[in-house]
Structure 1
Amino acid sequence: MAVAAALTLLLAACGDDGGGSMSAGGRAEITVAALPLTDSAALYLARDRGLFKKEGLDVTIQPVQQSIQALPALAKGQVDVIASANYVTFLQADEKGTLDLRILAEGVRVAPHMMDVLVPKDSDIKSVADLAGKKVAVNILNNIQSLTLNAILDARGVGRPVYRQIPFPQMGPALERDQVDAVHAVEPFDSAIQGELKARVLLDAGSAPVRSLPISGYVTTKKFAAGHAKEAAAFRRAIEAASKIAAQDPGAVREELPKYTKVTADQAGSIGLPAYPAATDAAQLRRLTELMKKQGLLKTAVDPATLLVK
């Protein structure tokens, strides 16, 4: 609640017209809400390597702990873009009519060990099949973590667990106190829990059939995309250029992580990184929407191509 309250105060100072002003240097101002995750690496690379300035943009980054916290601010125009926005939440909001969603650029896709299912080192859970009926922590219920884990379990023909909503920073303590049987953790929390608790990797949650599945991106509203088409296109170009750097040089991401997350330089050198696509692919996004429809997270089929900002 404290984080949400602080975010509200920060965003209130931004006014309601996001993206319409110019900085003292004559650059268009864009406000971006972002999570301190590996998903946001391209955003920070674009900032620190001058890619936004090259495109004539002055980007302000406001950290949040869950992308869903910034959804009301995005809908009201108090922020212009949400980075590392999990697609499930925003596609559902679009379907419900609470947000007129547009996707500016892909963020990350699933890669090996960018997220894992962890159990205590002395846990009786020895195989994936043992997860059936067990309590597994996820950051948000009925979202990308349960969606992808369910797909993996269904493909292996084993039963599903019972999900418990626990924020990433609290997953380690919850596992240590036996409040849950396992946690579905993403980096950098994944490596931190393994290091601090000697937790055991039960399952690579980036394995087939969800490998390379798009899971987060840079999203905005139809109103912003239409009213600030030039700025939106410039932002997309900067992010795609930064994503290309991230894909070709993982070391650049590892160097960037300690600047905006709690990951140390030593930890950054070994954590599992997601895949950073250099361009947005509607066909890959369709894999996600079809999986959401199959698991009941979308009521109707969605053509992602209609949501992409050109």
Structure 2
Amino acid sequence: MALRRSRSGTKRLAALVAAAALILVGCDSGGTSSSGDGRQRLTVAALPLTDSAALYLARDRGLFAKEGLDVRIQPVQQSIQALPALLKGQVSVIASANYVTYLQAYEKGTLDLRILAEGVRIAPHMMDVLVPKDSALKKPADLAGKKVAVAVLNNIQSLTLNAILDAQDAGRPVYRQILFPQMGPALEKGQVDAAHAVEPFDTAIQGELGARVLLDAGSGPALGLPASGYITTADFVKKNPKAAAGFRRAVEAASKLAAKDPGAVRTELPKYAKVTADQAASIHLPSYPATADPAALRRLIRLMREQGLLKKDIDPAPLLAK
């Protein structure tokens, strides 16, 4: 199932994606302001992943404008990099925000979390554990004690992979933090034994290295699990109720479009993720839920509790912005 493309072409792809994934540093402007046409301007931090498709669809299809919003998108390499800017009010929302990170921040009292809208839920092959084509690793159980690259430690990737391996009575790997654009080179140089890659990097690494899928990381206990959402603060919702509600409606409308017409997502991806139209046609997409579901989030929270990523239960229902 690996896509074959020239090594130089895909390395240029990785370089473009890395260049597009900027860190929010020294941002002086506020996360909200008024546009010249009277619309409320919001700055949204987002990763260049399939998770963010509804955000870009809402912008490009005029759904935000319909709600009186002017949404400006700031790419980042990790959603956690935008947390300081969110706390300072320099960005209004973080898209593609990994729930695990932000639920932990909420528990610690670092962030008075509110979820404006759900991002994606895990679907088959939207993320895979990849190994070099000549790797001695042949089955998931072979990962025990091996070095596996993840974008952020103790997060949704390790959480779900641990759950899958535990269900198979297999040993767990040792995780190494490596940003998505660097996973391919790290795998090629032997710095890690496997890479837990998310689309569109998953398909790109397969194409560049001829890497093979050792494990569908969107299977078993991971399937259907909420992975990311559109995160803000309680203070933002309190001070900007109309903008918060309009943002939620626009994203939910875009998510319905994404779920109904995957082709719309595939058309949108090359505009922000630096993949070609041909590459976008072969990418495995996540599930785009129309609305956030407390029951689905409770499933995620239970898994976090089981693996020691949360010390106590959290009721997600009050965290969903109305």
Deviation (angstroms), 1:139: 0.5
Which residue of 1, 4, 7 maps to 2:24? 7
Aligned to 1:241: 253
- CA-based RMSD: 1.3
CA distance in structure 2 between the partners assigned to 1:75 and 1:45 by the alignment: 26
CA distance in structure 2 between the partners assigned to 1:248 and 1:226 by the alignment: 33
Aligned to 2:104: 92
SS in 2 for 1:42: helix
Aligned to 1:229: 241
The answer on 1:274 being equivalent to 2:291 is no
SS in 2 for 1:269: helix
Aligned to 1:53: 65
CA distance in structure 2 between the partners assigned to 1:94 and 1:209 by the alignment: 24
Runs of 4+, deviation exceeding 4 Å: 2-6
Which residue of 271, 283, 300 maps to 1:259? 271
- Unpaired segments ≥5 residues, structure 1: none
Deviation (angstroms), 1:97: 1.0
The one-letter code matched in structure 2 to 1:254 is R
CA distance in structure 2 between the partners assigned to 1:27 and 1:70 by the alignment: 24
Deviation (angstroms), 1:172: 0.4
Contact 1:293/1:299 (8 A) holds in 2: yes
Contact 2:21/2:47 (8 A) holds in 1: no
CA distance in structure 2 between the partners assigned to 1:103 and 1:266 by the alignment: 34
CA distance in structure 2 between the partners assigned to 1:213 and 1:5 by the alignment: 28
Deviation (angstroms), 1:263: 1.0
The answer on 1:77 being equivalent to 2:94 is no
CA distance in structure 2 between the partners assigned to 1:246 and 1:66 by the alignment: 23
The one-letter code matched in structure 1 to 2:25 is T
5 Å-filtered alignment, 1:163-182, equals 163-182=175-194
Deviation (angstroms), 1:184: 0.3
Contact 2:23/2:75 (8 A) holds in 1: no
CA distance in structure 1 between the partners assigned to 2:39 and 2:295 by the alignment: 34
Contact 2:22/2:75 (8 A) holds in 1: no
Which residue of 278, 289, 296 maps to 2:301? 289
Deviation (angstroms), 1:3: 9.2
The one-letter code matched in structure 2 to 1:185 is A
CA distance in structure 2 between the partners assigned to 1:284 and 1:212 by the alignment: 8
Cα gap change, 1:4/1:51 in structure 2, threshold over 3 Å: closer, same or farther? Answer: closer
The one-letter code matched in structure 1 to 2:111 is L
Question: Identical aligned pairs, as a percentage?
Answer: 76
5 Å-filtered alignment, 1:110-125, equals 110-125=122-137
Aligned to 1:136: 148
Deviation (angstroms), 1:244: 0.3
- Unpaired segments ≥5 residues, structure 2: 1-18
Deviation (angstroms), 1:98: 1.1
Aligned to 2:5: none
* TM-score scaled by length of structure 1: 0.96
5 Å-filtered alignment, 1:130-209, equals 130-209=142-221
Aligned to 2:9: none
Contact 2:23/2:76 (8 A) holds in 1: no
The one-letter code matched in structure 2 to 1:40 is S
Deviation (angstroms), 1:192: 0.4
CA distance in structure 1 between the partners assigned to 2:180 and 2:100 by the alignment: 17
The answer on 1:33 being equivalent to 2:45 is yes
Deviations 1:21-40 (A, max 9, x none): 32111111111011100000
Contact 1:133/1:161 (8 A) holds in 2: yes
CA distance in structure 1 between the partners assigned to 2:20 and 2:269 by the alignment: 21
* TM-score scaled by length of structure 2: 0.92
Q: How many residues align?
A: 304
Contact 1:4/1:69 (8 A) holds in 2: no
SS in 1 for 2:124: coil
CA distance in structure 2 between the partners assigned to 1:199 and 1:6 by the alignment: 29
CA distance in structure 2 between the partners assigned to 1:3 and 1:260 by the alignment: 8
